[in-house]
Amino acid sequence: MSRIAGRFQQLAAQGRKALVPYIVVGDPDMALTVPLMHALVAAGADIIELGVPFSDPMSEGPVIQQAHERALANGARLRDALDMVAAFRQRDADTPVLLMGYANPVEHMGYAVFADRAAAAGVDGLLTVDIPPEEVAGVNAELHRVGLDNIFLVAPTTPDARIKAIVDQASGFIYYVALKGVTGAGNLDAADVARHLDLIRAHTPLPLAVGFGIKDAASARLVGASADGVVVGSALVDRVARAAAAGADHDALLAAASGLVAEIRAGLDSIAS
């Protein structure tokens, strides 16, 4: 069993929901990423999602696009993401870590080389926004060879037949995009999310985590009632970015991020209580 699957299983046995915070490697600076990962875990994160900086993050809204731009300006690349996971693993051997990004950097490194390096670093899974299920066989073979999960997105507009094609290639969990459009946009409709999750569950026993639109305890609680977990991205990236722009030092940046994650953790835990 993968570390990701094990974490979801453990949480389900406890009647709890997974909290998956997203940050971009190297944003707002290279030195903050690993301490931030540890701070997020201490605040209640169950799985860490690391964004791999990319020049054209097409599924992202302005907040995360700007984070990618800052990270690239700081020199952050895929190899740095792997190095940071390895550094994180020196103190934390248990928290699953997922890399989220785009196909080009992985293809440039080579699927086999990436899989070997990711496994050696302690990565648990990969989510590539722009590799469709029809083209995933090559990377899936290499990921599965070293025991890494391949996470897929399902959108509100995904037809039922395509949902099946996607989940048949996935492992670890399914990431349901709660909103149409890019990250950080729109308002959540909890009933609509629940309805779509039921449609996905008809095709797979994999856990379902919901992202896009989770910004606070209230939104996490609404969605968490029907999901197995939530992903918080834009709200977290924005909080850290605003604190950095205001001149906050590293301790203050860690506190800003931890405060939001702890708030969302409390919201999720109130579902089970």
State pLDDT tens for residues 217-272: 999 999 999 999 999 999 999 999 999 999 999 999 999 999 999 999 999 999 86
- Average pLDDT for 65-90: 97
- Average pLDDT for 152-180: 92
State the pLDDT confidence band at 184, using cuts at 50, 70 and 90.
very low
Say how many C-beta atoms besides its own lie within 10 A of residue 31's C-beta: 11
Percent of the chain with pLDDT over 70: 96
Edge-to-edge strand list for the sheet holding 174-177: 149-150, 125-128, 97-101, 48-51, 18-24, 229-232, 208-211, 174-177, 152-154
What's the rounded Cα separation, in Å, for the pair 105 and 202? 34
88-144, pLDDT tens digit by residue? 999 999 999 999 999 999 999 999 999 999 999 999 999 999 998 999 999 999 999
Q: Which residues touch 98 (CB under 8 Å, ≥6 apart)?
A: 4, 20, 47, 48, 49, 50, 123, 124, 125, 126, 127, 149, 151, 172
- Whether pLDDT at 187 is above 90: no
- Average pLDDT for 11-26: 97
State the pLDDT confidence band at 61, using cuts at 50, 70 and 90.
confident
Statement: the pTM of the whole predicted model exceeds 0.75: yes
